[in-house]
Structure 1
């Protein structure tokens, strides 16, 4: 009798272990959240004053860290569709070259919603689930403001929204049936044009490629 009970207990434990190790299937909904850091890789064009470009007048953009969120729906055991979101990132624009004297001259916020098709190559019962993603990013800029002494001279700063491709690498490691630890990185093709004017009526324009790497680390929960 004791032997039968022991056998049943072991069988139940194996069943529970197999269930807890089971990863993603068609119809699963996965929420991921954590710390997200935008690391910019700025390639700035020269400042154009009334249409005339001065290549030695460029800008840089600092990094920022916020709360990152993503939502994935599994189309099958191997493929999912993900929406990436975040709390607004805030960046400082800094003068370079002949604009270095401006220092940190403006601030801007942005949101980078991104839709990706993801591929999960591992067997669905593997605790370790790496994935690849390819998608489309739409970045919207807002709350553009000059700061410090620049605000006395310049006004009406606007930055164009951007649409471009994105690539993603990430993984989940299953802790149990629902929870996992997660880490991911995205490359985003983000290009924008900044426009503004000064008190004398001169109009300025500057093109910049931001092309950041976005790192996120946190947890995921499967429904």
Structure 2
């Protein structure tokens, strides 16, 4: 995680260096009514943990990297709504159970997240923000290389709360570099073998990303 934040900080420095010196006095800033579409590369990094009935152990989900699109609309100069859309694939297993490490196969996650963001410095080229919101994650296409005695896995869709922080860097009047971090409190239920084994997972993932946005 520390290495990842270091890479993001380095990317921010590169973006800053890319801003032409003569443009430093021509900041457009953020305004009510602005609408932005963004494209990013994100990492979804589950914390992993929870409780497994019957066989004990701890649920675990792998990290995943993917592309993301997002949409931002400014209600006020300092207040915006942001919606992200992406899908990721994760390998699931149970660590240190009574049966040893149990492979549950893979699952795809679709975690749209809507956040209300506050921008304290809307007129600055380097414009940080913080936010809070809600997430609803849809899990689908469970399958893959399950280990015996697992024959069926069902991960239930779940709501979660999101906290958010990020930085926008204006690189041209209509173009913005973006660096974003979200933390979700997400704890879906899992049913294995038609409910013979049930678990509550504590995924609580970090979602970290870097990308670019176009402002209309």
TM bucket normalised to smaller:
0.7 to 0.9
Counterpart position of 2:199: 206
Following TM superposition, by how much is the alpha carbon of 1:43 offset from its aligned partner in structure 2, in angstroms?
Answer: 1.8
* 1:1-223 pair list within 5 angstroms: 18=25, 20-46=26-52, 48-49=53-54, 54-55=55-56, 57-86=57-86, 88-98=87-97, 101-102=100-101, 104-122=103-121, 124-150=122-148, 153-197=149-193, 203-223=196-216
TM-score, with structure 2 as normaliser: 0.83
Does the aligned pair in 2 maintain the 1:94–1:100 contact within 8 Å?
no
Q: CA RMSD in A?
A: 2.1
**Any idea what the Cα deviations from partners look like across 1:23-74, whole Å, max 9, x if unmatched?**
110100012211110111012202x24xxxx43x222111000002211100
Q: Deviations over 1:93-124 (max 9, x none)?
A: 123113674454310000110111110000x3
Query: What are the ranges of 5 or more consecutive residues in structure 2 without an aligned counterpart?
Result: 1-22
- Cα 1:196/1:148, change in 2 over 3 Å: closer
1:125, distance to aligned residue in structure 2 (A): 2.6
Q: Give 4+ residue runs of structure 1 displaced > 2 Å after superposition.
A: 98-105, 153-156
> Which has the larger Rg?
1
How far apart, in 1, do the equivalents of 2:147 and 2:205 lie?
28
Cα distance in 1, alignment partners of residues 166 and 144 from structure 2: 37
Distance 1:33 1:95 in 2: 34
The 2-side partners of 1:17 and 1:207 are apart by 51
TM-score between both structures, scaled by the size of structure 1: 0.81
Partner of 1:12: none
